[in-house]
Structure 1
């Protein structure tokens, strides 16, 4: 993949939060990550995420990493 090509990983955090009736602020408090950092992830602007953060988010939301992300087909 060329360096300038955007990634195709899409974060579904907003959908999972809605399904759980949880706010981003509540998740941030529970996980110990700033709202700003979670917002960057939620809005697909993150370039990386730590496994420890993913684990904490999944534990807080009762979901799997596969529930949080999907890879979209190339355009």
Structure 2
């Protein structure tokens, strides 16, 4: 898949667990896990906005395109 999700890198850099992020953005741990492992087929802008706000990042920090 040419779109890589760098959620794991951002969590590690901010010393935050997936569980803590789940509580902060009010998204289930299962859904965040699907996103983190790169198995998600889509992401809502509201979800992307909540994650970026919680991690203090830009969407480009979270998603990367590799042809």
| TM-score normalised by the chain length of structure 1 | 0.87
RMSD between superposed Cα atoms in Å: 0.6
Q: How many residues in Structure 1 have an aligned counterpart in Structure 2?
A: 67
Match of 2:49 in 1: 55
Q: State the partner residue of 1:15.
A: 9
Does residue 27 of the first structure (1) align with residue 31 of the second (2)? no
In 2, distance between residues paired with 1:66 and 1:50? 15
Q: Which runs of 4+ in 1 moved over 6 A?
A: none
State the 1:47 CA deviation: 0.2
Pair member with larger Rg: 1
| Structure 2 residue matching 1:10: 3-state secondary structure | strand
1:72 positional shift: 0.9
Q: For structure 2, which runs of at least 5 residues remain unmatched after alignment?
A: none
TM-score by length of 2: 0.97
